[in-house]
Amino acid sequence: MKNLALIIATGASLVLPAHAEEPAPIPSPGEIVAAAPASDWIAIAPSDLLVMDMAPDAKGKERRVVIQLMPAPFSRGWITNIRTLAAAHWWDGTSVNRVQDNYVAQWGDATEKKPLPRGLETVAESGYEVDEPSGFTAPGLPLHYQARPSDPSPAKVGGHIVFRDNPGWNYGSFYRGFPYVGAMNPHQSKIWPIHCYGAVGVGRNMSPDTGSGAELYAVIGHATRHLDRNVAVVGRVVSGIEYLSSLPRGTGSLGFYEDEAERVPIRSIRLAGDLPASERPKFEYLSTESGSFARYAEARANRRDPFFNKPAGGADICNIPVPVRPGR
Amino acid sequence: MKNLALIIATGASLVLPAHAEEPAPIPSPGEIVAAAPASDWIAIAPSDLLVMDMAPDAKGKERRVVIQLMPAPFSRGWITNIRTLAAAHWWDGTSVNRVQDNYVAQWGDATEKKPLPRGLETVAESGYEVDEPSGFTAPGLPLHYQARPSDPSPAKVGGHIVFRDNPGWNYGSFYRGFPYVGAMNPHQSKIWPIHCYGAVGVGRNMSPDTGSGAELYAVIGHATRHLDRNVAVVGRVVSGIEYLSSLPRGTGSLGFYEDEAERVPIRSIRLAGDLPASERPKFEYLSTESGSFARYAEARANRRDPFFNKPAGGADICNIPVPVRPGR
């Protein structure tokens, strides 16, 4: 790998072996992912991919952001609404209106006057959490209530990696490609999706409003975990987050663009399944129920590849991004 | 506050009360900061401010990034080198060469051939950690070893807020404006600075190299905590992080710009104290030893302002950014 070799030889750059191609004595997280068998990768259904095409940038470059919607049982009401909005082409001609540094990029109707399509659900605040279904985790791999606050994290439970959550009384894990958290309470079995980098959530008014799904944001900074259970998480960006995260920051209150000309036009948002087959983006994620993912997560928490001297012994659940690659 | 009122009235936007101006029934973190007495704000010494002027952007807008260097006892060798490099005008004419999404923006000499000034120290890897000095915390406020892993975090200790660190066997707190972590081990009293959003660190080659300080990076995504104790942290951006975080991402390996033309020229980097008095930027930070900061941190961990329904009960130490404001 020419680039890396140059860096090592001259010593002037920060070397990060996640992308290194030479086999390391102990595999890096990236090498574990690269070695995962095809059977550990899961194709994302076209009905679960939301494709946002922004106007090209000043140099004419296309800007496509692709979002994976969360699986059941999470956030169903909002996700139904988002599919309705996409089918109605409601976002076409709207814009990215707010970019707040180390926080969120937000899009929707800046005029706040565009009529919503018929048939949107009003989702109750109770929808921020869901009951943990029986059989939620892979058969034979009981996951919950097994990570005690006194355990160093991540703990291995039945082949899964279980992360203790900040602030320690909850546990965290992954389900079908998404991080979630549950209460460490045997009398309660609620779980909820969380705000990591790239998470997509639903803007709302003050309680009891929960938002329709028409106003969306993506996290472009440190995980905004204080929003968990306060705002609905509906998915995560699997491609093109850089087209949101590198936008100029808004100078108005909360990072809103003050000048209309600063807004970034959205040409269209569609479900991939509604695009012609030849235009559908395809992505796969590394099954979070696979052994490859468990090894990857463990390696993220305990970096032993050559660059690192001191493995951390644990990792924030939001520092274990779920690997995604183009599909076939 | 016109903008916010509009948002509330129409209900289409995500409302974030951190910046709200109306008095809330229970103060928001932003309101606590706004109400802090002048005596809780500390002026940052000109010798601790590193001023980086990048070339203006395509629209001719000035881009100044200001970095606060860490106080003793942290990372002294590298910080001495950085002052030497700034005094030698070494960075003038160098560039930002790497921007990796959700990771770092990195600057230095892209040619990797520019001779370094004389007199730079070679810092040992042991410098990543420091001995916790006696009297390290404010008098009468013993801080360390008092946050047990089984405590919900943050815990109040003698008026300070103490954060349990991920993965739970360390504790976290703040010292003179910077977050740090220490081992929960009565037989060891090492502490070390950590990589939160905006942290500035020293690029290096493979161990035992620790970097000179000539190659620097700033964290522009979720806290890169796996780099703690593996790379030197020397400061944090207190103004202008958006000029780094909104740069186009590099398409080369590790986010390096592939085309020389993509690099962002650095006109100069100076210590504020070496600028003419009339041109010196001035900043103050909210004393992390103050009661105001303790209340702010508690409020960040337990949001009770009107937008929030469920206080989290804790916060990642990296989600408690130290407040900074322009000085006088």
Residues 6+ apart with CB under 8 A from A277: none
Contacts of A261 in chain B (CB under 8 A): none
| Least Cα separation, residue B274 to chain A (angstroms) | 26
Nearest chain A CA: its distance from B39 CA (Å): 27
Among the listed residues A81, A28, A324, A87, the one whose alpha carbon sits nearest the alpha carbon of residue A216:
A81
Q: Is B31 helix (H, G, I), strand (E, B) or coil?
A: helix
Q: Average pLDDT for consecutive 10-residue bins of chain A (328 residues)?
A: 27 40 71 96 98 96 98 96 98 98 98 96 96 53 30 40 48 83 67 94 96 98 93 98 98 97 98 96 93 83 84 78 95
3-state secondary structure of B164: strand
Residue B309: other Cβ atoms inside 10 A: 16
**In the predicted model, is pLDDT for residue B80 greater than 50?**
yes
B-chain residue closest to A169, CA distance: B152
Q: Which two tokens stand for residue A153?
A: 């994290």
| Mutation target among A166, A207, A224, A317 for the B interface, most CBs of B within 10 A | A166
Closest CB to A249 among B198, B214, B242:
B242
What is the rounded average pLDDT of the residues B221-233?
A: 94
B308 compared with A198, residue with greater pLDDT = A198
What pLDDT shows up at residue B75?
98
What CA–CA distance (Å, rounded) separates B153 from B314?
5
Q: What is the pLDDT of residues B132-164, one digit of tens each?
A: 766 554 332 223 223 333 333 444 443 444 454
Mean pLDDT, rounded, of chain B: 83
Q: Which of A280-289, B21-30, B63-72, B176-185 has the lowest mean pLDDT?
A: B21-30
d(CA B46, CA B44): 6
A133 φ, ψ (degrees, to nearest 5): -70, 155
Place of tokens 């975080």: B245
For residues A35 and A139, the answer to whether their CB atoms sit within 8 Å is no
User: Residue B148's closest CA among B137, B164, B166?
Assistant: B164
Of B13, B167, B310, the CB nearest to A152: B167
> Which pLDDT does position B131 carry in this prediction?
85
- Report yes or no: A196 and A318 within 8 Å, Cβ to Cβ: yes
Confidence of residue B315 (pLDDT cuts 50, 70, 90): confident
pLDDT digits (tens, 9 = 90+) for B158-193: 344 445 444 445 667 788 899 888 765 555 678 899
What local confidence, expressed as pLDDT, does residue A51 receive? 98
- Start-end of H helices in A116-252: 241-245
- What is the mean pLDDT of the segment spanning B70-81? 97
User: pLDDT band at B305, cuts 50/70/90?
Assistant: confident
Measured distance CA(B298)–CA(B296) in Å, rounded: 5
Question: What was the pLDDT predicted at B266?
Answer: 98
Q: With a threshold of 0.90, does the pTM exceed it?
A: no
